Structure formats: C-alpha cells, structure tokens
Chain A
Amino acid sequence: MVIQKGKQPQRARLAVAGARNATESVFGASSRADRIGNVLFRSLLLLGMGFALLGMVSIIVWSFVDGAPRLDMNLITAGPSSITPETAGYRTAILGSLYVIGGVILFIVPVGVGAAVYLEEYADQTRWWNRLIEVNIQNLAAVPSIVFGILGLAFIVRGPLDLGFVAAAGSLTLSLLVLPTVILASREAIRAVPPSTRLGSLGLGATQWQTIWHHVLPGALPGIITGVILSVSRAIGEAAPLLLVGAVTFVMFDPSFFEGQFSVLPVQIFNYAGRPQEEFRVLASAGVILMLAVLLVMNSFAIWLRNHYENKNAR
C-alpha cells in the first residue's frame, strides 16, 4: 500500500560490464585475527577429541602388549592359583560370569521391557504414581553401582531373600543395577515407533495388547536389543557391587547358580592385579584382553542383529 511505482530502472547486462570493473573486490577474506581465532578453535577441538581417542587406543594397545605373553589355553581352562601365576587362569571366574550374566538376561528382559511398555503404552502421565515411577527410574540410573552392592549385601545375600554369597545373589544385584538403563533404552525405542502404526492396528479392532505385541514391539525390537546388549556389556565388566555380595576371588571348583562360592572375570582380574609378583600383572592384563574380546564380539553381534531387523522391517 505504500509502494511507489516507477523506481525500476531497466538493467541490461551490457551496461553492467563497465560498472563491474569499478567495483572493488568487496569480499576480502576475514580479518587476520578472525582467521587465526577460528583455526585455533578448530585445532583445540581436534586436540580434545584426539586426546579421548588416544586414551582409548592406549588402553587397548597397552593391555594387548602387556598381556600377550599369557595368551594361552591355560588362561581359559586353568583355575586360579596364588602360587603358580605362570599356569593360573580364569576358568572358574569365566563360568561364574556366565552364570551371573545368564541370570541378568533372564531377569532384565521381561521386567525391563515390561516396565517400558507400561510406561509408554498404558501409563496415564497425569497420575502421580506414574510420574513417581518415572522420576524414580531416572534417579536409580544415577545411583552409584557400589550402592547396589550394599543393597545386595543387605537384602539379597542376607535379609529377606537370604540367598547367601552365591552366583544368584550376584546376578540379581547386577540385574537391579542395569534395570533402569534397559527401561530407559526400551522406552526410547518404543517411543520411536510412529503413532500411525498403533492407530492403524487399533482401527482394525485389535486390542491394545495385540497392537503392542504385533506392531509396536517388533518395530521397537532393534532399539530394545541394543539397549539390552549395552546393559549386559556393562554388567560383564562391573566388579564393584560384586565385591560386596561375595565374589570371592580364588574359587577352586566350578561354581553353580544357587550354591557355593563364585567369582567373576573382572573381580578375578582385580585380585590378580593386587599381587606383587610381575607374573600376576601379566595375567591380569591377559584377563583384560579376554574381557575386551568378549565385549567386542557382543557389540558386533548387537550391530549385526540391529541391521538384520532393520532390513526385515524395511522389506
């Protein structure tokens, strides 16, 4: 409404050619200080990231170099010894870890995914108890692992459950420790399933559980599996809470789930490392290699599984 007409000189390309020469180069590069600042900043960022990567690579390389002399069959098949580090190994600790981790998986998959399904699909967020559960899970995820050890000692080893210092107690303790992680990861995965999937199924007359079982969970599966595997890897490497629930280090006989002493790989490594002789340090490093190898295999498995399901869903 306020536009005046007529300020529209016609522009011919020819007329411009001359004017172009008169125009000085308008875009000099940035000032020197600016350029140096930017380069410096970028270098600092790279330095920081390089430090993190260097640290990671150093840990792995150092363990391999240090533990290489003891990469033999005894490492896996021989039991522990405090006298003959040259032939001692991790047999009982590996078995203990297998029991403990097996129990963790059996526990966290149904309970963790179940809790996530409830919170995402059923829970009415306006109810105070549902909000309480949510806040509670977030806080639990940040509780130090050793505090779970205290809980295990007081409630699982002793107290109401009274299991004693057995693999089952260690298993349950670690399950409680990683449960919040599993729930949070599963919730993310479930939330990522588009609402239209649910509406489509409900619109066909499926019940809520049918919808969840046939449509939501399959869609969320890759994310859930990733969450479970990450939690299990954490449980494999976790030692602190198990110190409290009796992962005794020198277990001479193959353990069982509900009876007898048990140990796990990281606790056994910790104990070897605390011994003065040089050979035990090498043995400890060799144990670290073992653990890193297992974790690497598991993570690769997670990625393979995730890709497999993503392909299947895409088809």
Chain B
Amino acid sequence: MAHSSMAASTAGASPRRPLAGAGTSRWGEKVIKTFLALCAAFSILVTTGIVISLVVPTVNFFGQIPLVEFLTGTTWAPAFANPSFGVLPIVVGTLIVVVTALAVAIPVGLASAIYLSEYASSRVRKVVKPALEVLEGIPTVAIGLFAFFFMRPLAERYLPFLPWDTPFSIGIAGVAVGLLIVPLVASVSEDAMRSVPAGLREGAYALGASKMRVSMRVIFPAAISGIIAAVVLGTSRAIGETMVVLIAAGAGNPNLTFNWFGSAQTMTAYIGGTATGDISQGTVVYDTIFAVGALLFTMTLTMNIIATRLVRRFREVYE
C-alpha cells in the first residue's frame, strides 16, 4: 500500500516518461520474467532427465536380455549365479500391494470423506481434518516399522490359523500402504464433494431425500470425477511406495507367487533393496534397476493419462 501511494504522489512532480518507447526502460521486468519462465521450464528439464536416465541403461539392458523374456518370465533372480530376468514376480508383488491397499483405502477414505463433507459438524471437522493431515505426514519408514513390528505379530496372534510362514507378509505391507494413502484419498474426494454446488444439495433435500440418499445419489455422482482422481492418485502412491514394502514384505521369493501371507518383493522394493547393496556400474544387475524403473514409470504415467482422460470425460457430461 505504502508503495503505490508514494508512486501516485510523486508522479505529478517528476517529469513523466513518454508513453511510447517506455518499454526500453523495462529491462528489469524482462530479466525477471525470463528468470521466472526458466524456473517453470526447469520442470521440463527434470522430466527429460528422468526419461534419459531411464532409457539409456534400459536400452543397454534389453541388448542383453530379450524384452519378451523380461516381460513374461516368471523367475526374478538377477543377482543369482544362474541369473533369471522374468519381471512378473515383482509385478505381481506390486499388484498385491496395490489391490490390498485400495481395498483398505477406498472404503475407509471415502467413508471419511462423506462423513466429513455431509455429516460432520464444524467442530468435528476441525479436529478430524488436522488429524488426517498428521497421518499423511507420518514418514513411511515409521509406517513400515509399525507394519512389521506391530501389525504382523498382531495378525498372527489373533488369526493363528492363517499361513504366517515368515516374519514378513506382503499382504500386511499392503494394508499398511492402504492406511498410508487413506488421507490422500479422503482429502481429495472430500474437496470434490464439498465443491458440489450447495444448490444441488438443497434441491435434493427439498424433495424429501434423506441424508444417505443425498450423499449417495446426488453428491457422490456429482463429485465422481474428483473421487476417481483421488483413487487414481492413491493407486499411484501405492505403486510407488517403497519403504513400507522394503521393511514389511522382506526380500521375497524369486518365483511367481500369490501368497498374501508370505514374503514377496515389489518393483520399488527391488530397486531400493538392490541400490543399497554394493552393485557396480556396468553390470547387468545394475541395469535391471533402470529397466524396472522404466517399467514403473511407464505404468504410473499411463495411469495418470487414463485418469486425466476419465476426469475430462466426466466433466464434459456434467458441465
């Protein structure tokens, strides 16, 4: 405020600049604008860097291991004396984690979102929303420890008849990842529900609809694009989650397995676990990190593109 009033009061006293050609004295503005544009363009550089860093070693990798063998093989043992490079076991590991996590996060996250958006008083909302934010901020290492040292023993104690063969369980890791993405799913879908125009809510209530009906038949469908986005974002996080799986699911099994209760590796856990070991550059094992990373990147990117399309289609229908 102080600045602008000063400029106004001195304008009368100082000689005015000619209207035309004033641009020549705006070098500062141009430099600033260029700097800001570079900041924005930097993100393109990052993406390019990711793609190059993945593609070069991956091409190298597929020079030695046929693509078909990689994508269809059912034994994943790159570091064994007799190595095998079938990626399916760790893809299945990732799938188990994602499906389990979504089975936890979709009902829990959406229930929380609907409650917060349609039912909760402002007092309840004021307590619960920051609490969910705290949950979102808990480091994944902590959640991994919780899954491994608390959830897994607890599960064995109360469900002893299930086949808990090792201290590790990919399924328990999946449940923990589910807990981890609940706040994300809840907050994004709650935002979507709250941004549904109040008029729709009133219109439905005025027809004698109960709260449940308004929530499920009006608010939920109207917010569906945001809810789908929430679920897709959650899925993306679950695919990419590393530490929880690394801690709670163990080193895994080279063979393809769907055993929910046993140890298994995911794509991310393989990358993280291998990188901590002493692997020298230039070996095939080193390159597998990048090949698996490329697969991971492709999967999440494809999903994001599909999600963007889906959201856009719903928008077209409703607006």
Contacts and interface: CB of A to CB of B under 8 A. Distances in A.
A123 B11 contact: no
B132 interface: yes
B47 interface: yes
B255 to A, nearest CB: 23
Nearest to B149: A281
Interface residues of A, number: 94
A208 B300 contact: no
Contacts of A38: 210-212
A236 interface: yes
A46 interface: yes
A296 B137 CA distance: 9
Contacts of A98: none
B287 to A, nearest CB: 11
B142 A147 contact: no
Contacts, number: 277
Contact of A209 (B29, B47, B131, B182): B29
Secondary structure call for the B interface: helix
Contacts of A60: 138
B38, B53, B216 — which one has the most chain A CB atoms within 10 A of its CB? Answer: B53
B108 interface: yes
A59 B149 contact: no
A237 B40 contact: no
A201 B4 contact: yes
A209 B53 CA distance: 37
Nearest to A248: B276
Interface in A43-84: 44-49, 51-53, 55-56, 58-60, 62-63, 66
A18 B146 CA distance: 71
B110 interface: yes
A48 B145 contact: no
B49 interface: yes
B4, B38, B148 — which one has the most chain A CB atoms within 10 A of its CB? Answer: B4
B138 A144 contact: no
Contact of A140 (B43, B132, B137): B43
A253 interface: no
Secondary structure call for the A interface: helix
A258 interface: no
A304 interface: no
Contact of B139 (A30, A44, A45, A291): A291
A139 B108 CA distance: 26
A194 B28 CA distance: 26
A147 B293 contact: yes
B35 A114 contact: yes
A52 B50 contact: no
A204 B4 CA distance: 7
**5 interchain residue pairs of minimum CB distance:** A144-B240, A48-B111, A237-B139, A114-B39, A154-B53
Given A144-B241, A237-B138, 14 more contacts: A38-B212, A41-B212, A42-B212, A118-B37, A122-B36, A144-B236, A144-B268, A146-B293, A183-B43, A205-B8, A207-B26, A237-B137, A270-B247, A295-B138
Interface of A: 30, 34, 37-38, 41-42, 44-49, 51-53, 55-56, 58-60, 62-63, 66, 110-112, 114-115, 117-119, 122-123, 130, 132-133, 136-140, 142-151, 153-155, 158-159, 176, 179-180, 183, 200-201, 204-210, 214, 230, 233-234, 236-240, 243-244, 266, 269-270, 273-274, 281, 284-285, 288, 291-292, 295-296, 299
